[in-house]
Structure 1
Amino acid sequence: MSIWQRIAAFLGSFSEGTGLAGGIANIFDPDNWMPGGRDAAFTMSIIALSAKMAVADGVVSIREIKTFHRLVDIAEGEDRHVDQFFALAQQDVAGFDAYARKVRKLFIDSPATLEHVLDALFEIATADGLVHEDEIAYLKAISDIFGFDEVRFEQIASQHVLMPSGQRDPYAVLGLVPGASDDELKRTYRQLVAEHHPDRMIAKGVPTELMGLATAKMAAINTAYQEIQAVRGQRQVLLAE
């Protein structure tokens, strides 16, 4: 059974009264897991929290929708299940904090997976080129619930929100300061690569349909590392002359 078929099974037919009882947030309760349901729960957390972010922002742009479809490989003909779930999550009486706490409980053993949820929300929020204050406040609140401190949140944000120059701060992306040694740079880079390797993400419950998240994360990490290496290499050449 595919992720989308599982989502359809979870939802059931609300019109016939056979859908999920007690609110969408119950899907994320580990006590309600179904065999093989962890990856479906991850996908649904992206959809549900995106829906709640849309409520916080007050509008869903075309670019945000396209970004969601770029990050999530939705099987042909399954769009209606995603749209239905998105609409239900917007209408559900549970606040976003209830969703976020369920997600944290679900993936408490994998901070990297929680980070990928936040990554997806940042990608969607920045899709139209402008992150609203309400969206930043929403993302920060979710980050707090997930257990990330201020430094970690700023690091994650820096991987998505561009500086006035239109570029990302490579040191912030890696969670380093410009004065970090070469050894610290290499050690941090290798650790991040190990944490966010697609194979590890799959093992932690991130479904193959969402590997676009892992790919984007690795691209940001690799680009930041290469940019720092290039600048340091040029600096060494200048000092040697």
Structure 2
Amino acid sequence: MSWWGKVIGGAFGFMLGGPLGGLLGATLGHGFDKGLNGIDLLSSDQTWQGGSQERVQAAFFTATFSVMGHLAKADGRVTEDEIELARQTMNSMQLDEAQRRTAIELFNSGKQDDFPLVEVLEQLKRECHRRVNLIQMFLEIQIATALADGDLHPAEQQVLMLVADHLGVSRGQFERLLAMVVAQQRFSRRGGGREAPVAKESISEAYQLLGVTSDSTDAEVKKAYRRLMSQHHPDKLVSKGLPEEMMKIATEKTREIKAAYEVIKASRKKI
């Protein structure tokens, strides 16, 4: 049974506890903030090494949409672009009606003044337990939310840096991810380099998307490409705890990474 099936089916043995459990439970009308027998799973075992795949998937889903809502409100107002990105994320996940309602409620919970952002992030980090690629995917989704209106407000950047800090992502890693997502969005808007001939801007963005430069060697470009493809491989991410519903998001990212690589290859006439 999938993580969602266990949630709605009442099989709560894997359930979260802590603030993530509280958020998910509140949207469904259940008291998930405590584990079985009333034990708070977030604090009951400080050496705990992470939960089942279904539990990680539930945590990722819950944190993704609630933090998206918090980030959208960071600059003082939620724009239509940010709401539309949330809708697009839900559409790309092909959520059923119950899942969509839950995602919307989580998004709205994140907009509340008393949203426990730090506690949510700390629990997500614990649930993911060194699943670095999963953490990176989460942060990429949040960065895309902040950039939905085409501008990164200082308040949004501050929240993003806080998210990165509490998830154990270094400032240098965060800056590289930010540059990659910015380039990815611009590259995608130009048609993923599908123009003929390819615009110089698309070539520049393709390099930024892969995290390399025009001075990088062919071997360095190929290595960066293979690393990013591995990090965003849908099946690998799902095995680490990405909700199955988010496979299409990961698939789209690999498509854009591959398109960027093809643009660079064409511009160099080799590799």
TM-score by length of 2: 0.71
C-alpha change, 1:36 and 1:14, in structure 2 (3 Å) is closer
Which residue does 2:209 correspond to in 1?
A: 173
Query: How far has the Cα of 1:42 moved from its partner?
Result: 0.8
Equivalent residue in structure 2 for 1:108, among 116, 122, 129: 129
Which residue does 1:37 correspond to in 2?
A: 55
Which residue does 2:221 correspond to in 1?
A: 185
Worse-matched range after superposition: 169-178 or 191-200: 169-178
Aligned CA RMSD, in angstroms, stands at: 3.3
C-alpha change, 1:112 and 1:15, in structure 2 (3 Å) is closer
Equivalent residue in structure 2 for 1:19, among 18, 27, 31: 31
Equivalent residue in structure 1 for 2:241, among 194, 205, 208: 205
Query: How far has the Cα of 1:69 moved from its partner?
Result: 2.8
8 A contact 2:85–2:145 mirrored in 1: yes
- Which one-letter code corresponds to 2:209 in the other structure? V
For residues 90-116 of structure 1, the C-alpha deviation after alignment (integer angstroms, 9 at most, x for no partner) is: 337354222222212221321111111
C-alpha change, 1:77 and 1:145, in structure 2 (3 Å) is closer
Equivalent residue in structure 2 for 1:145, among 158, 162, 166: 166
Which whole-Å CA distance do the structure 2 matches of 1:226 and 1:35 have between them? 34
For residues 115-150 of structure 1, the C-alpha deviation after alignment (integer angstroms, 9 at most, x for no partner) is: 111111122222222221211221122122222233
Which whole-Å CA distance do the structure 1 matches of 2:52 and 2:227 have between them? 33
Q: Does structure 1 residue 67 correspond to structure 2 residue 88?
A: no
Equivalent residue in structure 2 for 1:91, among 102, 112, 115: 112
| Structure 2: gaps spanning 5 or more residues | 11-20, 35-39, 187-199
Q: Does structure 1 residue 196 correspond to structure 2 residue 232?
A: yes
Which whole-Å CA distance do the structure 2 matches of 1:202 and 1:14 have between them? 24
8 A contact 1:158–1:169 mirrored in 2: no
Q: Does structure 1 residue 123 correspond to structure 2 residue 144?
A: yes
8 A contact 2:206–2:261 mirrored in 1: yes
Query: How far has the Cα of 1:43 moved from its partner?
Result: 0.7
C-alpha change, 1:69 and 1:6, in structure 2 (3 Å) is farther
Which residue does 1:239 correspond to in 2?
A: none
Which residue does 2:182 correspond to in 1?
A: 161
C-alpha change, 1:150 and 1:166, in structure 2 (3 Å) is farther
Which residue does 2:266 correspond to in 1?
A: 230
- Which one-letter code corresponds to 1:87 in the other structure? N
Identity %: 27
**Which structure is higher in RCO with an 8 Å CA cutoff and minimum separation 6?**
1
Query: How far has the Cα of 1:27 moved from its partner?
Result: 8.5
| Structure 1: gaps spanning 5 or more residues | 237-241
- Which one-letter code corresponds to 2:228 in the other structure? L
TM-score by length of 1: 0.78
C-alpha change, 1:15 and 1:190, in structure 2 (3 Å) is closer
8 A contact 2:207–2:213 mirrored in 1: yes
C-alpha change, 1:27 and 1:53, in structure 2 (3 Å) is farther
Query: How far has the Cα of 1:186 moved from its partner?
Result: 1.1
Which whole-Å CA distance do the structure 1 matches of 2:6 and 2:31 have between them? 12
